[in-house]
Amino acid sequence: MCAVNDLAHLLVDTRLELVGVFVAALSGGLAAVRKEFDLFGVLVLAWATGLGGGMLRDVLIGATPPVGIADWSYIVTALLAGLAVLLFHPRVARNRRAVVVLDACALGVFVLLGTMKALGMGAGITASVVVGLLTGIGGGILRDILVSEVPLVLADRRLYAIPALVGAGLTAALWHAGWLNGATQWLVVVLVIGFRLLSLRLGWVVPDAASARAWRRSQGGVGRGVGGPGSAVPPEVDGDGAAAGSSDDPA
């Protein structure tokens, strides 16, 4: 197991984290522009998206004040991203593929650093994994809430939180085994990036209720009630006598 004090020497270069903040803030700026926010709104949403995950991490592990309000270099980086989107948003929007790739890179860096910072503050393995996950996805959740939308990580079936969870778990496992060093840090980052991009390329998605229903049909489970095989549970009936909740309703 790595000594907690040694973790400070294992951190990925801060400049790489600033790149992650910039890229994450770009997505916040783009969301603000789509909602037709003014300059102040664009900058606030860029700041919240770029630094929201890190601030949530710091609050959870007691590292206060959070870096998102205490370190001017992080704040300026996020604000510059918002300003860039405001000035050049058609060009940024057209380079969607590049933004997706950079966003995957930011996810890998945030997950690694969030998990490591939690471990460095003495958090347990489970808590550190959760903190690493929230560091990776927290900014996007805050962005979507501020624009009055269901968080994309919950509504979009494409894999985002799962690569983050795998990366956080691997980081904690490597630390526990005493194998967390510069090389294995980069391994974690590359794994998260590759997992995220490969899932997009191959169309991997998280199963939903409709998928589960289709699977039950394929297994011959149609018509079986919740009371067990062969049990008959009558459908609900509405006021007109028609059966409600038929199998053709959306899940």
* Residue 80 pLDDT class (50, 70, 90 cuts): very high
Average pLDDT of the residues in 97-111: 87
Instruction: List the structure tokens of 4.
Output: 């907690």
- 49/31 Cα distance (integer angstroms): 10
Written in H, E and C, the secondary structure of the chain is: CCCHHHHHHCCCCHHHHHHHHHHHHHHHHHHHHHCCCCHHHHHHHHHHHHHHHHHHHHHHHCCCCCHHHHCHHHHHHHHHHHHHHHHHHHHHHHCHHHHHHHHHHHHHHHHHHHHHHHHHCCCCHHHHHHHHHHHHHHHHHHHHHHCCCCCHHHHCCECCHHHHHHHHHHHHHHHHHCCCCHHHHHHHHHHHHHHHHHHHHHCCECCCHHHHHHHHHHCCCCCCCCCCCCCCCCCCECCCCCECCCCCCCC
Q: For residue 8, what pLDDT is reported?
A: 44
Polymer length of the chain: 251
The answer on pLDDT for 78 being more than 50 is yes
Query: Which residues, other chains included, contact 85 with Cβ-Cβ below 8 Å and sequence gap of 6+?
Result: 26, 29, 30, 32, 33, 42, 46, 92
Read off the pLDDT of residues 20-40 as tens digits, 9 standing for 90 and up: 899 899 989 999 998 999 999
With b for 16 or more beta-carbon neighbours within 10 A and e for fewer, the 63-91 pattern comes to: beebbbeebeebbebbbbbbbbbbeebee
User: Which comes out higher in pLDDT, residue 46 or 155?
Assistant: 46
Rounded to whole angstroms, how far apart are CA atoms 109 and 196?
13
CB neighbours of 12 closer than 8 A, spacing ≥ 6?
A: 109, 112, 113, 185, 186, 189
Encoding tokens for residue 159?
């894999």
Tokens of 21: 């903040």
Tell me: the pLDDT tens digits for 147-175?
A: 999 998 888 888 999 999 999 999 999 99
Phi, psi angles (nearest 5°) of residue 158: -70, 150
The percentage of residues in the chain with a pLDDT greater than 90, rounded to a whole number, is 57
Let me know: does 84 contact 92? Beta carbons within 8 Å: yes
Tokens representing residue 55 in the block: 């601030």
Taking only the tens place, the pLDDT of each residue in 89-103 is 887 777 778 778 888
Residue 241 has pLDDT above 70, yes or no: no
